[in-house]
């Protein structure tokens, strides 16, 4: 899960935080009164470094490309066996390596629970207070986006954890009219036009029924 700041310099250097500029654009968004995000930047960018897979570990020695500098920085160097790395070990040449700074960097030992607690949980609490948030993962193929977002059943990712918080918090407020119950599944169905129309009608009737019930409660 990455990335937003790019550094074109070929020297290891402190990276100006790219997200501060964007944050000013986001700061116009209204915040819930009791926001858990108060005092935090509106745009948070987290890096998660996944552990090596068994195939990657058995490939041989570590290439020593990624060095964490807690809590928020990572230093990327070319693989130790690459030509670039051998050239840069020559002290007369400029050292290659790039530093990237994030809101926080999570290392390979980070559990799904720790990641959720540190990144998304406060946003979910804000949503329950009427706030809006967008969370997405970004990274190359095989970097761990699906694992982080969904996770296997035994190590649920940020999406099922968020839904759990939401549904545990609203259980008293769930519309009882049709006995609709949330159900987590990984299947999806592509609807044809007719089915789409049926679903739209169903939704419209459901909302109408919900509104009528709400009005009865109010008067
Ligand atoms: N934090 C982690 N701890 C343990 N294993 C992980 C972790 N992150 C990813 N993996 C493992 O790494 C592999 C690749 O992860 P995943 O499928 O989530 O990548 P992806 O970014 O979604 O890939 P793609 O873009 O190709 O769909 C999987 O076998 C996954 O179980």
Q: Is residue 53 part of a domain?
A: yes
What residue's CA is closest to ligand 1, atom 31?
A: 147
* Residue list, ligand 1 pocket, CB within 6 Å: 50-51, 53, 139, 141-147
Instruction: Tell whether 94 is covered by a domain.
Output: yes
Q: Is 131 annotated as a binding residue?
A: no
**How far, in Å, is the centroid of ligand 1 from the Cα of 139?**
10
Which residues constitute the domain of residue 94? 18-187
Please state whether the predicted TM-score (pTM) of the whole model is above 0.90.
no
122 and 88 in a single domain? The answer is yes
Q: How many domains does the chain have?
A: 2
Does the annotation place 143 within a ligand binding site?
Answer: yes
Which of the four pLDDT bands, split at 50, 70 and 90, describes residue 212?
A: confident
The answer to whether residues 78 and 29 belong to one domain is yes
181 plus 196 within the same structural domain: no
The answer on 193 and 146 residing in a single domain is no
Summarised one tens digit per residue, pLDDT across range 3-39 is 433 333 344 444 444 445 555 555 555 566 666 666 6
Q: Tell whether 116 and 206 lie within a shared domain.
A: no
Quick one: 113 and 140 in the same domain? yes
Which CATH number does the domain housing residue 107 bear? 3.40.850.10
145 is in an annotated binding site: yes
Say if residue 204 is in the same domain as residue 171: no
**The pLDDT value given to residue 27:** 55
Of the candidates 121, 101, 119, the one whose C-alpha atom is nearest the C-alpha of residue 110 is 119
* Residue 137 marked as a ligand binder: no
| Least confident window among 62-66, 85-89, 127-131 | 85-89
pLDDT at res. 1: 44
Assess whether 198 and 106 both reside in one domain: no
Please report which confidence band the pLDDT of residue 174 belongs to, taking 50, 70 and 90 as the band edges.
low
The percent of residues in the chain predicted with pLDDT above 90, rounded, is 39
Measured by CA distance, the residue closest to atom 9 of ligand 1 is: 144
Is 6 within the bounds of a domain? no
pLDDT of residue 36: 63
Alpha helices in the chain (DSSP H): 18-26, 54-58, 83-88, 112-119, 121-128, 145-149, 158-169, 193-218
More confident residue, 194 or 207: 194
Q: 154: CA distance to ligand 1 center in Å?
A: 14
Residues 36 and 72 placed together within one structural domain of the fold: yes
Residue 85 lies in a domain: yes
């Amino acid at each position: 899960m990455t990335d937003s700041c790019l550094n074109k310099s070929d020297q290891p250097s402190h990276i100006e935080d790219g997200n501060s500029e964007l944050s000013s654009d986001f700061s116009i968004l209204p915040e819930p009164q009791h926001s858990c995000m108060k005092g935090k930047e509106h745009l948070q960018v987290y890096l998660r470094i996944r552990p090596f897979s068994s195939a990657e570990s058995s490939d041989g020695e570590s290439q020593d490309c990624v060095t964490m500098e807690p809590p928020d920085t990572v230093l990327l160097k070319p693989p130790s066996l690459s030509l670039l790395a051998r050239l840069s070990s020559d002290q007369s040449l400029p050292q290659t390596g790039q530093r990237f700074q994030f809101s926080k960097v999570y290392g390979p030992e980070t559990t799904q629970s720790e990641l959720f607690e540190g990144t998304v949980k406060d946003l979910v609490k804000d949503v329950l207070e009427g706030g809006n948030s967008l969370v997405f993962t970004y990274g190359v193929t095989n970097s761990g986006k699906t694992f982080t977002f969904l996770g296997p059943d035994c190590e649920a990712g940020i999406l099922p954890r968020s839904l759990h918080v939401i549904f545990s918090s609203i259980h008293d407020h769930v519309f009882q009219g049709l006995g609709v119950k949330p159900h987590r599944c990984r299947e999806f169905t592509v609807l044809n036009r007719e089915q789409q129309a049926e679903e739209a009608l169903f939704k419209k009737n459901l909302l109408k029924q919900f509104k009528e019930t709400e009005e009865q409660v109010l008067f």
